[in-house]
Amino acid sequence: MFRRDFIKNALSAIGAASLAKPAFGETPAGKPGEFREPARSVPLNSDYDIIVCGGGPAGIGAAIGAARSGMKTLVVESGGCLGGTWTRGQLSWVFDFKNGGICREITDRLDARGARHGGDWKDFVYEPDAMKIVLEDMASEAGADLLYFTNCVGAHVAGGEMKTLLTESKSGRQAWGAKIFIDCTGDGDVCARAGASFEMGSEGDGALQPCSFNAIVRVEDVDKLADRITAYKKEGLNGHVKATKLNLKDLLDVGIDPSYHMPTLFHLGGNILLMMFNHQYGVRCDSAADITRATVEARREVFKMAEALARTDSPWRNVRIIATCEQIGMREGRRVRGLYRVSLDDAVGGARHADAATRATFGVDIHAPDKESNRQKTIKNISTRPYDIPMRALVCRDVDRLMMAGRCISGDRIAHASYRVTGNAVDMGFSAGREAARLVSEGRTPHSLAAS
């Protein structure tokens, strides 16, 4: 065979092979250990002005802010309720609420249902299930649409702007166009899918704050456990520390060295308490395997603790778990790079910004990253002065038409351990929703805020 014919035949064989479609059900060619997903068309919905990804404290704030400003707004939420860590995580205690705005509206509605117990307007105990109905009422009155049981799984960027969100649910894969997307997934999932840069954990060793798995328990007589229940407003931080020491002693007495050395109890009314007794270490928000392991281990530990305490002849006698959280509480995920990065200096120095999205007053509160340091010092605190979080920290630096609110905004790790609490998340979310609406009505994009 002539060399020319040989090359021609060889090329047509390669061409035929690459054009040949794999038979139905057959895996298409990819690198070993990889599956090359075939391209496909999916339904595209472009009805919305603003899409809020994640319906936690930040997401509900953003959705209400946008919808009340006249924007057609959708919230995409992977769970079956609004509230995120507030509800799915059974948090039961808020820090840094504001005496006005969206925070005050939530407080008043919880009060109308008799679902607040202890604390004042700034920090208080609430019932997680009442929070679910309060937030759904507020979202629907504002006119925001909700889409539950739906994961944000992809983000398409063109010309430096986020154009399309991809979701997966019982409805299959769907695509969503909008003028502005707000990532309120807590972990910055959408920004990461869009290819935006982010930080996670401490700079040197990537250490992360632990997760906690909360449980609601019923006790025989809540009054007998009064000295073990945290009531910040009565005795401040010292009272909290004293109460957790008693819980720690109770656990050590039944032969359990708990993963969290400040086991905390909140009173949800009647003989019902919230137990935050567990820490899970080294859990990455981008690892389903880590999150699964942590959830299984944590549930086991929490049941072991409750069952051991229930067998004692003590105020804990017959304590019973009545509900464990649906989602393990993730303190620390991605911190997406924004047009501004909030720093510890801002928090300690009381920074002021003309474009403030909220004013944080909570101190730095970092939980130990591993069991050993938890034994020595469970929580490291640093005092701060009231400081502003500028709207620019809520604008994704690398991708336009994409904003963040809540714990995934742009900041250093230590400042994050202060601004992450829920009063700040919901308030900055509300500001982000309103700002996104203003930008849309003025035909501008979030990157135009760079000049603020």
Ligand X SMILES: Cc1cc2nc3c(=O)[nH]c(=O)nc-3n(C[C@H](O)[C@H](O)[C@H](O)COP(=O)(O)OP(=O)(O)OC[C@H]3O[C@@H](n4cnc5c(N)ncnc54)[C@H](O)[C@@H]3O)c2cc1C
CA dihedral 53, 425, 136, 48 (to 10 degrees): -30
Whole-number Å distance between alpha carbons of 346 and 324? 37
Q: Chain centroid to CA 119: how far?
A: 23
- Kindly state whether residue 406 participates in binding ligand X, applying the rule CB under 6 A: yes
Compare residues 45 and 151 and give the one whose CB is closer to ligand X: 151
Tell which one of 228, 331, 392, 397 touches ligand X (CB under 6 A).
331
Among 420, 432, 439, 446, binds ligand X (CB under 6 A): 420
- Radius of gyration over alpha carbons of the chain, in Å? 24
53 binds ligand X (CB under 6 A): yes
Residues β-bridged to residue 51: 74, 181
Residue 188 found at the interface with ligand X (CB under 6 A): no
Complex with ligand X: residue 68 or 331, whichever CB lies closer:
331
Distance CA 411, CA 34 (A): 35
DSSP string of 279-333, one letter each residue: -B-S--TT-HHHHHHHHHHHHHHHHHHHHHHHTSSSTTTT-EEEEE-SS-B----
Lookup: tokens for 120: 């004042």
CB of 85 to ligand X, least distance (A): 3
Nearer of residues 115 and 310 to ligand X, judged by Cβ = 115
415 binds ligand X (CB under 6 A): no
85-104 residues in contact with ligand X (CB under 6 A) are 85, 88-89, 91, 93-95
| Nearest distance, CB of residue 94 and ligand X, angstroms | 4
Adjacent-strand bridge partners of 162:
157
Smaller CB separation from ligand X, 57 or 128: 57
> Nearest distance from residue 264's CB to ligand X, in Å?
9
Quick one: which of 188, 227, 228 has its CA closest to 56?
188
What type of residue is 403?
Answer: M
Show contacts with ligand X in window 145-184 (CB under 6 A).
151-152, 184
Residue type, 410: S
Q: Determine, following the binding rule CB under 6 A, whether residue 265 of this chain makes contact with ligand X.
A: no
In Å, how far are 1, 186, 432 from 53, measured between CA atoms? 62, 10, 13
Closest distance of CB 23 from ligand X, Å: 34
Q: Does 118 help bind ligand X (rule: CB under 6 A)? A: no
Residues near ligand X (CB under 6 A): 53-59, 76-79, 84-85, 88-89, 91, 93-95, 151-152, 184-187, 189, 212, 329-331, 406-407, 420-423, 425
